[in-house]
Amino acid sequence: MVKTIRNRGLMVVVLLSVLCNFSCKEEVKKEVVTDEIEVTGHYVEPYRSQFHFTPEENWMNDPNGLVYNDGVYHLFYQYYPDSTVWGPMHWGHAVSEDMMKWKHKPIALFPDENGLIFSGSAVMDHYNTSGFGTEDNPAMVAIFTYHDMEGEQAGKKDFQTQGIAYSLDNGDSWTKYEGNPVIGNTGIKDFRDPKVFWNEIEENWTMLLVAGDHLQIWNSPDLKDWKKVSEFGKDKGAHGGVWECPDLFPLKIEGTEEVKWVLLVSINPGAPNGGSGTQYFIGDFDGTTFTTDQKENKWVDLGRDNYAGVTYNDAPNDERIFIGWMSNWDYARDTPTEKWRSAMTVPRELTLRKVGDEVSLFNYPVIGFEKHVALAYPESIIKILPTRKRIIPLKYSNQSKTKFTLSVPNAQIYFRNKNGDSLSVDIDRDKKLVTLDRRKSGNVDFSDKFSPGVQQMKIPNLPDDPIEIVLLLDHSSLELFINGGQYVMTNQIFPTEFFRAITIVNNSEEELVIEDFTEHKVERVWD
């Protein structure tokens, strides 16, 4: 199958008549013949992501069991193989050598007599503490939540327990542990999403479990017998909804030898822009207890579509690599795709950096992403006078990476297409605020919760220097990275036609000079 989408030669004079619904004047008029985007093979349905992971078909949500072994990155995920809406949960499975080009694998874990297979994690048992493998052939162990649907429907509160399974062939086949569940339930309604890692401090395994509105920490010598050692969060963080999908890991503050621990906790509802979101805490972990003196709520991503993200165990070079589910429970079941539903974010490296007196968590596409970025399309030096704008035709449209440095304090960036769809990002460094508006970005009426208003992101600690802007535009998403990932917004979009131009408006009182504007084509990652 071949699907060809042409960005026809566009005369900017014509574009101006369509795009100039603003009081500011245009700076430049020139003809640019844009490229042709050709999508061949499979995965060419409307809105199908071309460089983000999607399931072959049907429903997907949380990433699970992120683990690296023998040169392979494993991505397990919540999966319902019989419909494009949520149903009895399985673990889907895919593998990659670079976290960009994925190979779909058979379903890894199926529901059983203990319940559905909800979210969790995976580890390599290198020391064979479990006895499931050997030191020469260590087991890959999956740790997950069992969800007893009949128990929930009967009104019980103990319907979620924790189970394990193991694989001796690098995730291709799995055996459930005969002693499941390994952690029972004493009456906690929301008791799930185990994240397990090897605890170097105690030389044992640590499990994070969410328990309604807070976190529990458990330790085990062998992945089978667990003991609760502490709790965290009843008086910390956002509590507008149920806590989910925790993760805990150490990171050095860049440029120093100081190590801090980062705790991720997703929450639904209760995110700043509505529905689902992921908060983070920076603090200390002594092997049993996590503590923090953090007062304000901090968020990994202030867009509406980055949820339930967790990081890889055993990633090379101790990198901390994060993948999130690119959706929001407010409307996840209703998005306008037919064969499949949902995508993952691009994989991102997490780092800690000190900006002024504050330490913040940065997240930015992994270096491997750049291997799939090609055909840089640079503009000549762009100069925009105060109150004016520059319209730049997009050569690679909704399969692109656009990057430039913004030197003025206030500017607006927006995309338009010939059907009048628009998507805008307003960066106001005077007000220390970013505003994103997708209310007219195309197909938005499939849910009244998708675009009820503009999204806002506070940017209180941006440096005074020029800042880098990166925009990753796929067929149905925009990921915005400001200042190397200091501030990030991820959003789904469903335009009725590819965006044909990007416009930059200078809302400052000084001339905007951009010397490094480039548009790159991002290669399609499906074979």
| Per-residue pLDDT at 133 exceeds 90 | yes
Say if residue 402 is in the same domain as residue 472.
Answer: yes
Final residue before a domain boundary, out of 347, 365, 383:
365
Is the pLDDT at 438 greater than 90? The verdict is yes
Is residue 324 within 8 A of residue 297, CB to CB? The reply is no
pLDDT at 4: 39
- pLDDT of 11 > 90? The answer is no
The pairing of beta strand 382-384 with beta strand 467-474? unpaired
Question: Is 361 found in the same domain as 377?
Answer: no
Q: Are residues 342 and 197 part of one domain? A: yes
Among 344, 365, 386, the domain-final residue is 365
Q: Which pLDDT band, with edges at 50, 70 and 90, does 39 fall under? A: low
86 is a domain residue: yes
Structure confidence at residue 22 (pLDDT)? 36
pLDDT at 377: 73
What's the confidence (pLDDT) of residue 151? 96
User: What is the Cα–Cα distance from 406 to 515, expressed in whole angstroms?
Assistant: 10
Mark whether 73 and 203 lie in a shared domain.
Answer: yes
For residue 53, tell me if it sits in a domain: no
Here the tokens at position 135 are 């030191």
Structural domain boundaries enclosing 418:
2-41+373-522
Longest Cα separation, the chain: 71
Instruction: Average the pLDDT over 113-123 and give the result.
Output: 98
Q: Is residue 242 part of a domain?
A: yes
Residue type at 364?
Y
- CA dist 392 and 34 (Å) reads 11
Specify the CATH number for the domain of residue 343.
2.115.10.20
196-231 residue pLDDT tens: 999 999 999 999 999 999 999 999 999 999 999 999
62 is an active site residue = yes
In a domain, 194, yes or no: yes
Question: Could you tell me if residue 255 is inside a domain?
Answer: yes
Q: Are residues 35 and 109 in the same domain?
A: no
> Is the same domain home to 379 and 301?
no
Confidence of residue 40 (pLDDT cuts 50, 70, 90): low
Domains: count for the chain: 2
Same domain (yes/no): 443, 409? yes
- pTM for the model stands at 0.93
Confidence of residue 380 (pLDDT cuts 50, 70, 90): confident
CB neighbours of residue 67 within 10 Å: 22
Catalytic residue among 35, 62, 70, 301: 62
Q: Is residue 305 part of a domain?
A: yes
412 is a domain residue: yes
Task: Count CA atoms closer than 13 A to 216's CA, side-chain side.
Answer: 18
Percent of the chain with pLDDT over 90: 89
Ranking 30-34, 199-203, 231-235, 390-394 by mean pLDDT, the lowest is 30-34
Structure tokens at 504: 């930059």
Distance CA 401, CA 312 (A): 25
The CATH number given to whatever domain includes residue 495 is: 2.60.120.560
* Domain membership flag for residue 171: yes
Q: Look at residue 454 and tell me whether its pLDDT is greater than 50.
A: yes
Pairwise CA distance, residues 67 & 310, whole Å? 11
Tell me if residue 236 falls in helix, strand or coil. coil
Same domain, 484 and 357: no
Distance separating alpha carbons of residues 330 and 448, to the nearest angstrom:
9
**What does the pLDDT look like over 242-287, one tens digit per residue?**
999 999 999 999 999 999 999 999 999 999 999 999 999 999 999 9
Between the alpha carbon of residue 92 and those of residues 59, 114, 252, the distances in Å are: 10, 19, 33
Strand order in the sheet with 477-482: 373-378, 518-522, 400-406, 467-474, 477-482, 487-492
pLDDT of residue 356: 87
> Average pLDDT, whole number, for the chain?
92
Domain check: are 381 and 328 in the same one? no
**Mean of the pLDDT values across residues 438-465?**
96
User: Which of 365, 396, 428 is where one domain is finished?
Assistant: 365
Q: What is the distance between the alpha carbons of residues 448 and 331, in angstroms, rounded to a whole number?
A: 8
- Has residue 418 got a pLDDT over 60? yes
Q: How many CB atoms lie within 10 A of CB 509?
A: 10
Same domain for 329 and 387, yes or no, is: no
What is the per-residue pLDDT across 63-100, written as a single tens digit (0 to 9) for each?
A: 999 999 999 999 999 999 999 999 999 999 999 999 99
**27 and 72 assigned to the same domain:** no
Of 283, 279, 352, the C-alpha closest to 320 is 352
pLDDT at 489 over 70: yes
Whether residues 204 and 287 fall in one domain: yes
